Structure 1
Amino acid sequence: MTGTGVEAGRLRMVPEGVTHGPSRELLAAGELCWSYAYLDLEASGDEPLQSASSWYERQGVRGTEGLYVLGEARYEAFEGPVTVLLDGASGEVFLARPDDDDMLQRDLLASSPQCLIALAAEIEAVSAAAGGEHGLADGEVRPYGPAAVAEVEQLVRQLLREADPELFRRTDDRPAHWETALAIRALDWGADAGGPGGAAYAVSAALVEDLATLEGEGSVRRFEEAELPASVSHAPTRRLLREIGLPVSDRCLLDVEAEGPLRTLAQQYPENFDPGDEDEGELTTRPQQGGFLVVGGWMYDFVVLLDGATGRVELPDLWDDGEPAAYLHRDLSALLYVLWTFERLRAVRREAGHPWTPGPWSVFEPSELLDGAAEAVMRALDPEAFESESHFWPIRVDDGHMGSLLE
């Protein structure tokens, strides 16, 4: 992981106040100019390195002496931007933000720029390894699922300690930023991509079982062959319903009945498909959805529909303006993986905000990093689900009455 903001062969001017030798060398060579691990340091290569005193001059912030701005955290913070600062004398790196009294507050992020690079590299490696085949023997299959996520978190947590033991010692094993960043990236190990002609993701039974219990006690409904209508002709979807199943939990976003037949949308809402004596304005604008199966309830009193021929998952047009867009997810495997990721992120956020386990930080708020990363993480799993403002997930993101996406 190297910087890209300085032209090859051209050394960069470093302020005299940066007396820490290794920091001077890295800054001069452009090695601290990158955007990784939810930290944006790219500006530190394209512009003269700015002192924290100059950065906060208009606010009159105190406690900025000897500090230099490397960049900012790559997420929105409720009380103003979080900056990444370098102590020019010691080489220590901090997350910083002024408090209500205009005094600069700091959390140690890395004990040196070299350690900062090593820590960020470990976080980036989590995602890179999840999507690659490097290190696998012929015929070896990389494990995925909740157990793999836990194993990755345990392994990388130790690698982070080894990358900067001083950081973990000085923060009582709870440094700002890194473990929350790891919790987000480890979710890439939840499921592998599906093969050609198969489901979008190779979702495991263990993932669905975990999803069913993330919001309380739950179970999994696996359908008997006789329970599946002939209209479910998409083989990967039929196999998923029989072998993997759907979560059954009153508190899950997807509300699946524990028993009973799968009904079509036309059977559940006949008034939307049979004009009868009703005003034609009440009819659906998506008559093709009449034969789709209702697999469960959804937020805003929607129902989740399954096109049994293609495996595609849709929403009906129950709003007057024809919204939301029909497309919800590519198939049930994508729905389950996105929903599991969503609920896992919410669980991490709840735990981080629990009053019994407050963080020992002055600046870092795990909820800000989680909220800032959630949409991009989910979008990467099914980009079409976020294609326009009329699709469900962007509607949910923009719904200020519901709070942040993870609330």
Structure 2
Amino acid sequence: MKRGLQMEDLVDRIIECDFEHISFKEFPLNEKFGLIVWKSNIKYEFLLNLKENSQNLICIGSGALNPPDLETFKQKPRFNRHSWKFSQSTLFYNDPTRYLNDSILGGWCIGESDNWYLEEIKKIIVKITEYLKIKNENILFYGSSLGGFNSIQLGTLIRNSKVLADVPQLTLENANYVRYIMPKLFPDLTNEEIKDRFDYRLNILDLIKREKYIPNTILIFDAGEVDIKEHYIHFFSQLNDLTEAENSNRIKIIINPINEHHFMSMEETLTVIQQACDNDLMCFGDEIHLSKLYSTLKEHEMTIEAKNQEIQNLKDTHQNEIDAKNQEIENLKNQKNAEIANLKAKNSELEQKFNEISNSTIWRLTKPLRKLLNLLKNK
């Protein structure tokens, strides 16, 4: 996606209307277009690409900005993954929460005290799908991290839809950044008041309890320490609250054994989405080992093992070379030490003989003669 562009820079056609007149507009097929919907004086921005032969609609939300991109996207929409080649119809939604303060990297569609933006987005999506005659069971909410959090919320609000959430955040109560933006969104409320009034906006399980509905969901978790501490432990500790739900949907949890907050690749994601659309979502979960995600993961593991073995072989080879060189040096050192010891022994022997000669009677008697010889030699 081009960075920091207005919607007119992304698509050739933009449809703008208020909420009540969505069904009066004619949406084009097989081309990407923009949709601006005004509701309660808030501008909600969407990118859509409706495929003529697709009964499935994939809804994708925006993730958080990286700090360097904050200035670039100030008061501008962001549509993550809109350049991907989906075979299904797609709807990308922007989060207007970012527009409330230019320092907000991501707003989780939290909105304002009297206006939960995500619920308004849900109403707009329902209006669009009813107009297009798309059934709820053919709607798939997909997102990762922040987008995964909003996808689960929307799947809870729009019953019988499906959710695929990749390394999603599950509760915002323990996230440091959320504590930073709360005063900007609710300047007149304390943290306790925010939690009491808006817990359903900040915690997946609180929304499920409020709606008494379990979304038809697959969650892909990573094994990173931060996500486990901030999101997963809290989620698992309150799973007994799901017994209050009025439906029998199940949340399928898949552990992707990587120690980092890392999303699936485009290829993996498109394959998983296609399988989720083609099959029952829970059945897809039962056959996850056949999916591209885990075959790719296995390939990565085998590649890593091969690389580790290659490194170990190189280490072993170099170690053998080092050991041989060390042995060669040690042998040379021992040889030189033996030569030095031999020279010392010979020197000691010579010194002993010299002392014996120096102390002999002949040596003392011939001393004057030796002096005379040296004198004659010098002349």
Q: Under a length normalisation based on structure 1, what TM-score does the superposition of the two structures give?
A: 0.25
**Structure with greater helix percent:** 2
Q: Under a length normalisation based on structure 2, what TM-score does the superposition of the two structures give?
A: 0.26
